[in-house]
Structure 1
Amino acid sequence: MHKLNDFLAGIEIYLGGSNWFTLLLLFTGVFFTIYLKFPQIRFFKHALRVVRGKYDKPGEKGDASHFQALTTALSGTVGTGNIAGVAFAIYLGGPAALFWMLVTAFLGMTTKFVEVTLSHKYRETDEKGFISGGPMYYMKNKLKMPWLAGFFAAMTIVSSFGTGSLPQINSISSSLYSTFGFDQMITGAVLAVLLAFVILGGIKRIVKVTDKLVPAMALIYFVGAISVILYNYENIVPSLVSVFANVFTGTAATGGFLGAGFAYAFNRGVNRGLFSNEAGQGSAPIAHAAARTEEPVSEGMVAILEPFIDTIIICSLTGLVILSSGVWQEKLPNRFQTTDMVIMADQYDDSNEEDQEKLYNYLIGKSDLPVFNGELNVENGIIQNPLSIINSRSIAEEVKVYNLNDEAFSGVITIKSGKNISDNETYFEGNSLVHSAPLTAEAFTRSLLGEWGKWIVSIGLLLFAFSTAIAWAYYGGRSVTYLFGAKGVLPYRIIYCIAFFIASFADTTIIWTLSGITIALMALPNLVGILMLHKDMKGTMNTYLDKFSKEHPGDI
């Protein structure tokens, strides 16, 4: 597992984790925001009217209403990224990472508008009579670049696992295990069967499920989040200050948090922002292409609402819950994952400024520190060697070692390059920082809800992540149809459900690393494609505005 994660992390550094990718993503949003004169602001009210069906016309071609297309797309974006992804960004980059998530969302409103409009404009009808759309169709039909369309479709299939399937069930099973002790394999098996029931019914069944599931899950989560924030009302202003005050300076060490520089907060915030709202990734256009309308721009307007709801509202709530509760800087009891843990050769004190600086530079890769090699001597669960253990980017405390029967371990453990190479025989527990869904779950307990707050996160995560898996099965299926025809969809869905089950008990860190790679490989051809079609986009938008202003004067 260590070697696999190190290999994937090495790839991810040059793709989703690289500065050039985040800059390309932001540049695309900035360019279209200025080029189209801030459509996310100008057309916001119009988008609300369109999604309510005010301008619908009978008999228009499509498989779903504006609202159903929006909820299907939202079900694909409102997921793990809103609960686990925000926690992961703050854990890596500090409070300033939330600011960069919000910037990504604001610019992403325009990016979504563009990619959905173009994909809807060049959609087709498949051999079974269903609408097929997405970036691969504008790449093929307008750019005349079938090779790029094929690459995008292939990466969408891969990303349906890396974004839509694997991290979703992994977060669900991890949350249910940490909260209620539910066996992760059983959780995966039950939900894989439910997933198969929904996605094998096709788009008709999918939209029926998502247009009810999305509003319900958003309401549950909103009420729970507000209760935590209000309970910690005295921390609301300091939390907001921390988000904006450290935007260009980074966050200093505080509590168990060893600090984060500007570059890390910027990179992680933009990266997790993309994972959350998927603006520029090219996924949502596949759902919006099914909308019943002959006006591509009107569906693009609807897409403006997605990053606003997904990131500016829901991710902001999650961020304020985590920051106002203070749990992001607290060491909490947890079971260490092998990929999060490094056994150091020396002892360190994270309350000592000199040690803080050494550890921070080590974590960001600026300098090296000696790691442990050799044998750990353990007696009744207590490590006898003088050393320190880093887990989840913090110095672990009160560490104990157990065997697989959950009994205190006594004996010798072989360590190589700071890693436990006998990790199938023992595991470590102790106090350290936590990340992803467990961090958000802990934050939700810091209110009048107490331990019941974890129910909000677990239920919210279950609904959020499960609906995301449903939507991404549709995206992957449309891409399979594009590449192999409708005959390939059933085998794809079966493989999708099997992978969904396996990921329920796989390593979380590896899953998140894989998702960063697949997001980048899918987003790159889409971002390049829509930039190449900027004149087409502007002309299409202006034609729509002229036509609409004549039919509905004063409505836009």
Structure 2
Amino acid sequence: MIQFLDQLDSFIWGPPLLVLLVGTGIMLTIRLGLIQVTKLPQALKLIFKSDDSGEGDISSFGALCTALAATVGTGNIIGVATALAAGGPGALFWMWFAAFFGMATKYAEGVLAIKYRQLDENGQVAGGPMYYITNGMGEKFKPLAIFFAFSGGLVALFGMGTFTQVNAITSSIENTLHLPAEGVGLVLALLVGIITFRGINSISKVAEKVVPVMAACYLIICVTILVINHASLLPAFELIFKSALTPTAAVGGFTGATVAMAIRNGVARGVFSNESGLGSAPIAAAAAKTEWAAEQGLISMTGTFIDSLIICTLTGLTLMVTGVWQMSDVATGALTETAFNTVLPTIGGLPLGSVLLMVCLSLFAFTTILGWNYYGERCCEFLFGVKSIIPYRLIFVLMVGLGAFLQLEAVWLIADIVNGLMALPNLIAIVALSGVVVAETKAYFEHLQERKQQSVESIQAMED
């Protein structure tokens, strides 16, 4: 069974899906006039300056932090190390490639999330791929929406939202501080229960506080290591670009990698990390208070920029300048920890690098649990109505508690499979509704231009 699931997982996350994900991003990039470049400065300003005047449950910044909470996780630390270990430095280039076009996809997801959201029976905003499929493409496509929601619910309960994240936290704390995994797991379940039973407002408030802090701390650590090893920085960039298009020769403990391995590992890890095209982030984006769909699209787009082009890049460069990516005697999951420990000192008998990485990894994984709790809740509500929300939360907290006791390889593979299957109905909807995305974008920027013109005319009138 494990072997079959592993083969199915490799097939689903093989070239066809990766080409479809990147291809959709390329199509949207062309249709939207390279929006991830031309409008990125404006998008970054909107993170803190959106007026939050429209309908919704949380602020635009809160929606972004909730989405980042679920997106920025173990993939940024362990996933990048896996890509480099298997595909060589060239994998980092292809991760950038996937992220660049993924920004256009994430923009489209944010636009459609706001455009087709609705209120549930409790008066809360409900949105995401299942709603823009049924409300945008029509009721005859509802089976696609059900397929997405079912897959999303499974991922939340049995994979990305629970077991894998809990295992990452408990293993890291157990290895560094030697605290029992079972006790850590129960504490996690208690914290998750306290936060999630208060709803999306509680989740977003925690995300708004924790996500910026955890990202800033991780960035400071990585930048410190890069500054100390600044002489190796330029050669690292040269090797990344060289290895992207030519095979990586065996160096040290590294056994070498083909260009195909670099492309597959870079693109796959990039998509895993930033989730552009998978359809998870628009569930959080739909809850944002905004009048303009395109405005939330711009804010959503920055999520991929922050996740892949900043955090993943710093992880990759840290692994390269310290030389640990070449070590075959170090487990892939421990490469980043080894990189930290090559520079940072030991204090009180504990390696500072291990302690800091444990804190970062635990925060990354914990916020991922919170974000995916909300994603799964919205999927469950779509399938079974608001009456299912409380039972879902109870089951979710139970799964978090069980995560410290279980080592279920089959469950993780199933979760990975349905995670990939989430992308199929979402990408179909994005392509089908790409004309709506373009129209909403045009209307928004025409509105901004008119408002700017009115402001100029008002100033001129006052001067006259």
TM-score (norm 1): 0.77
Instruction: Note the 1:399-548 alignment, pairs <5 A.
Output: 432-436=329-333, 438-450=334-346, 451-507=351-407, 513-548=413-448
Alignment-mate amino acid for residue 441 of structure 1? E
- Change in Cα spacing, 1:439 to 1:500, as seen in structure 2 (3 Å) is farther
Helix, strand or coil: the match of 1:516? helix
2:17 matches 1:21: yes
In the alignment, which residue of structure 1 is the partner of 2:73? 79
- Change in Cα spacing, 1:280 to 1:299, as seen in structure 2 (3 Å) is same
How much does 1:56 deviate?
4.2
Contact 1:53 1:66 (8 Å CA) reproduced: no
Aligned-residue identity in percent: 40
In the alignment, which residue of structure 1 is the partner of 2:462? none
Distance in 2 between residues matched to 1:244 and 1:511, nearest whole Å: 37
Distance in 1 between residues matched to 2:267 and 2:162, nearest whole Å: 22
Alignment-mate amino acid for residue 268 of structure 2? N
In the alignment, which residue of structure 1 is the partner of 2:215? 218
- Change in Cα spacing, 1:501 to 1:440, as seen in structure 2 (3 Å) is farther
Distance in 1 between residues matched to 2:357 and 2:422, nearest whole Å: 29
Distance in 2 between residues matched to 1:170 and 1:492, nearest whole Å: 21
In the alignment, which residue of structure 1 is the partner of 2:131? 137
Cα deviation, 1:141-161, whole Å, max 9, x if unaligned, reads 111111111111111111223
Query: Once structures 1 and 2 are overlaid, which stretch shifts more, 89-98 or 276-285?
Result: 89-98
Instruction: Note the 1:11-160 alignment, pairs <5 A.
Output: 11-16=8-13, 18-57=14-53, 60-144=54-138, 145-160=141-156
2:73 matches 1:176: no
How much does 1:471 deviate?
0.6
Distance in 1 between residues matched to 2:338 and 2:181, nearest whole Å: 19
How much does 1:76 deviate?
1.1
- Change in Cα spacing, 1:262 to 1:135, as seen in structure 2 (3 Å) is same
Q: Which runs of 5+ in 1 are unaligned?
A: 332-431
How much does 1:511 deviate?
6.9
Distance in 2 between residues matched to 1:491 and 1:11, nearest whole Å: 31
Contact 2:90 2:243 (8 Å CA) reproduced: yes
Q: Which runs of 5+ in 2 are unaligned?
A: 456-464
Contact 2:161 2:368 (8 Å CA) reproduced: yes
Distance in 2 between residues matched to 1:52 and 1:194, nearest whole Å: 28
Alignment-mate amino acid for residue 75 of structure 2? G
More helix by share: 2
- Change in Cα spacing, 1:91 to 1:541, as seen in structure 2 (3 Å) is same
Alignment-mate amino acid for residue 240 of structure 1? F
- Change in Cα spacing, 1:54 to 1:296, as seen in structure 2 (3 Å) is closer
More strand by share: 1
- Change in Cα spacing, 1:327 to 1:178, as seen in structure 2 (3 Å) is farther
Contact 1:159 1:522 (8 Å CA) reproduced: no
Cα deviation, 1:513-532, whole Å, max 9, x if unaligned, reads 44532321111110111001
Contact 1:257 1:433 (8 Å CA) reproduced: no
In the alignment, which residue of structure 2 is the partner of 1:370? none
How much does 1:131 deviate?
0.4
Alignment-mate amino acid for residue 244 of structure 2? V
Distance in 2 between residues matched to 1:500 and 1:92, nearest whole Å: 30
Distance in 2 between residues matched to 1:508 and 1:321, nearest whole Å: 32
Structure of higher RCO (CA pairs closer than 8 Å, 6+ residues apart): 2
In the alignment, which residue of structure 2 is the partner of 1:363? none
Distance in 1 between residues matched to 2:427 and 2:191, nearest whole Å: 34
Helix, strand or coil: the match of 1:491? helix
Contact 2:319 2:339 (8 Å CA) reproduced: yes
Distance in 2 between residues matched to 1:187 and 1:298, nearest whole Å: 40
How much does 1:330 deviate?
1.7
How much does 1:81 deviate?
1.1
Figure out how many residues of one structure are paired with residues of the other and give that number: 448
Distance in 1 between residues matched to 2:130 and 2:418, nearest whole Å: 16
Contact 2:47 2:60 (8 Å CA) reproduced: yes
How much does 1:252 deviate?
2.2
